[in-house]
């Protein structure tokens, strides 16, 4: 149960970060009491719809992954729906036909144009940079392309303009390229995620990467003197002593019978961790199914009210890596992984998504939370372009020739050139 509760908690952190991402690193050591109020971000009607679509995608994605993890080792895990959706949106800019439609539907963004989607992410990234100077966060995008293959300028320009993606042509046959990509991931996660790929192949078309780094201090920090070993009970009844933080303070709180929800703010309260604790007669799977109900999450949050909460929360740290091909295929974009995929807006070279992977890290203690994610999308060519063999043909001596009809091979003329005396 420790695994599952921490997992759900982590997912809600990332859901709350839909409102907390920016394109550059920001933040300082300013204490919460000295901070300006968070900036309200005004969204147009279509943008509010896209936020709800993002949230619907997040909960559905998490439920699929929760089920898959439950069938395996069932350990703690964390993912970033925002990092995934942004990386997929960049990839979507190169998709066409049924492949594009499948990606739109999976992201719950069907009905919105490319320009609307790209502008939505651009607006969020620019506006959210300023909302809390005490919280350090960054969001970075990069595309590493095969230097031997022409990438369409519109695809590159769109991702540079809306996502501030750095684009670099590299040689996927050289081992050094792996180090270049992994260094980018490490540099943009404060060293928390040092490796995202093991190797590259000559048939690789490109790698699209999104990295998010977050570090926030609690508005109401836990006193380390109150942290002690306390029992934590798993869903199967197993009990284990863990380091449990404790404080009593005023927090936003609600209880709808299915779960208790407490909101733990960071810094100037622009960002917060939302902790969902199932009722004693409920399991995590019950709560996850409930969150998928239309309107449930918004209605639950509308019930938040200030209360004096005697709060106990375990310290935790999770590192996680997961290929997401199967989950995304189940969500409707299987065609993007197939040989029939259409990424013709990206390149004339036939291509498909080889893999989608997330590497994540989170640590939560008495002071706050540090978290990072890198989403990596590997594109591979389904047929390797043939580079013509370079040869020298210098007809500086006698030679033969013939003229044929090509479809049948019928020879019309044959001749020899032996000299030029006459």
pLDDT at 1: 42
Q: How many CB atoms lie within 10 A of CB 39?
A: 14
Confidence of residue 144 (pLDDT cuts 50, 70, 90): very high
Q: What's the token pair of residue 223?
A: 């006193």
CB-based contact 378:386 (threshold 8 Å)? no
Confidence of residue 383 (pLDDT cuts 50, 70, 90): confident
The CA distance from 275 to 8, in Å, is: 8
The CA distance from 121 to 131, in Å, is: 16
pLDDT above 50: residue 5: no
Confidence of residue 209 (pLDDT cuts 50, 70, 90): very high
The mean pLDDT of 293-310, rounded to a whole number, is 92
Domains, in order of start, for the chain: 2-218+317-381 (3.30.497.10), 224-314 (2.30.39.10)
The mean pLDDT of 275-280, rounded to a whole number, is 89
pLDDT at 399: 54
pLDDT above 80: residue 81: yes
DSSP bridge partners of 271: 266
pLDDT at 414: 59
pLDDT above 60: residue 126: yes
Q: Find tokens 């407490």 and name the residue.
A: 262
pTM of the model: 0.84
pLDDT at 38: 77
pLDDT at 389: 63
pLDDT above 80: residue 159: yes
DSSP conformational letter for 388: P
Confidence of residue 19 (pLDDT cuts 50, 70, 90): very low
Q: In a 10 Å sphere around its CB, with 0-12 CB exposed, 13-18 middle and 19+ buried, how is residue 26 labelled? A: middle
SS3 readout for 323-351: ECHHHHHHHHHHHHHCCCCCCCCCECCCE
Q: What's the token pair of residue 85?
A: 């959706």
pLDDT above 60: residue 18: no
Q: What percent of the chain has pLDDT over 70?
A: 83
CB-based contact 123:130 (threshold 8 Å)? no
DSSP bridge partners of 75: none
Q: What's the token pair of residue 353?
A: 């998504």
DSSP conformational letter for 270: T
pLDDT at 44: 87
Q: How many CB atoms lie within 10 A of CB 180?
A: 14
pLDDT at 186: 97
| 3-state class (DSSP) for residue 274 | strand
Q: Note the Cα 342 to chain centre separation in Å.
A: 21
Q: What's the token pair of residue 215?
A: 């570090």
pLDDT above 60: residue 357: yes
The mean pLDDT of 166-181, rounded to a whole number, is 96
The CA distance from 95 to 151, in Å, is: 13
Confidence of residue 393 (pLDDT cuts 50, 70, 90): low
Of 8, 4, 14, nearest in space to 70 by CA: 4
pLDDT above 70: residue 296: yes
The mean pLDDT of 383-398, rounded to a whole number, is 66
pLDDT above 90: residue 202: yes
pLDDT above 90: residue 363: yes
Of 376, 374, 279, 368, nearest in space to 78 by CA: 374
pLDDT at 282: 87
pLDDT above 90: residue 235: no
More confident residue, 18 or 108: 108
Calculate the average pLDDT of the chain: 85
The CA distance from 85 to 19, in Å, is: 14
pLDDT above 60: residue 58: yes
pLDDT tens-digit series, residues 321-344: 999 999 999 999 999 999 999 999
């Amino acid at each position: 149960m420790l695994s599952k509760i921490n997992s759900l908690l982590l997912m809600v952190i990332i859901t709350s970060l839909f409102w907390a991402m920016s394109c550059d690193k920001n933040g300082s050591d300013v204490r919460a009491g000295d901070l300006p109020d968070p900036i309200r971000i005004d969204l147009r009607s279509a943008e509010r719809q896209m936020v709800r679509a993002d949230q619907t995608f997040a909960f559905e994605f998490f439920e699929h992954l929760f089920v898959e993890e439950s069938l395996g080792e069932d350990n703690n895990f964390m993912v970033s729906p925002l990092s995934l959706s942004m990386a997929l949106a960049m990839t979507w800019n190169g998709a066409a036909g049924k492949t594009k439609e499948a990606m739109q539907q999976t992201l719950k963004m069907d009905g919105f144009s490319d320009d609307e989607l790209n502008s939505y992410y651009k607006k969020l990234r620019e506006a959210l940079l300023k909302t809390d100077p005490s919280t350090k966060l960054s969001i970075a995008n990069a595309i590493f392309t095969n230097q031997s293959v022409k990438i369409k300028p519109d695809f590159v320009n769109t991702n540079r303009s809306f996502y501030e993606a750095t684009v670099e042509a590299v040689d996927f046959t050289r081992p050094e390229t792996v180090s270049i990509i992994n260094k980018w991931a490490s540099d943009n996660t404060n060293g928390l995620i040092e490796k995202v790929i093991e190797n590259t192949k000559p048939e690789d078309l490109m790698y699209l990467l999104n990295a998010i780094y977050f570090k926030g201090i609690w508005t109401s920090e836990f006193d380390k003197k109150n942290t002690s070993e306390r029992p934590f009970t798993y869903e199967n009844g197993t009990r284990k002593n863990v380091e449990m933080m404790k404080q009593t303070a005023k927090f936003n709180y609600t209880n709808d019978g299915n779960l208790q929800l407490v909101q733990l703010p960071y810094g100037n309260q622009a960002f917060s961790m939302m902790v969902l604790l199932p009722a004693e007669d409920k399991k995590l799977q019950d709560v996850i199914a409930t969150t998928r109900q239309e309107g449930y999450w918004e209605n639950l949050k509308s019930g938040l009210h200030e209360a004096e909460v005697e709060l106990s929360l375990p310290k935790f740290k999770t590192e996680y890596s997961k290929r997401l091909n199967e989950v995304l295929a189940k969500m409707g974009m299987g065609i993007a992984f197939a040989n029939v995929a259409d990424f013709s807006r990206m390149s004339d070279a036939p291509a498909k998504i080889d893999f989608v992977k997330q590497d994540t890290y989170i640590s939560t203690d008495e002071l706050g939370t540090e978290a990072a994610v890198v989403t990596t999308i590997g594109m591979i060519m389904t047929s390797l372009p043939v580079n013509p063999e370079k040869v020298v043909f210098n007809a500086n001596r006698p030679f033969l020739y013939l003229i044929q009809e090509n479809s049948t091979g019928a020879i019309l003329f044959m001749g020899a050139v032996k000299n030029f005396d006459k």
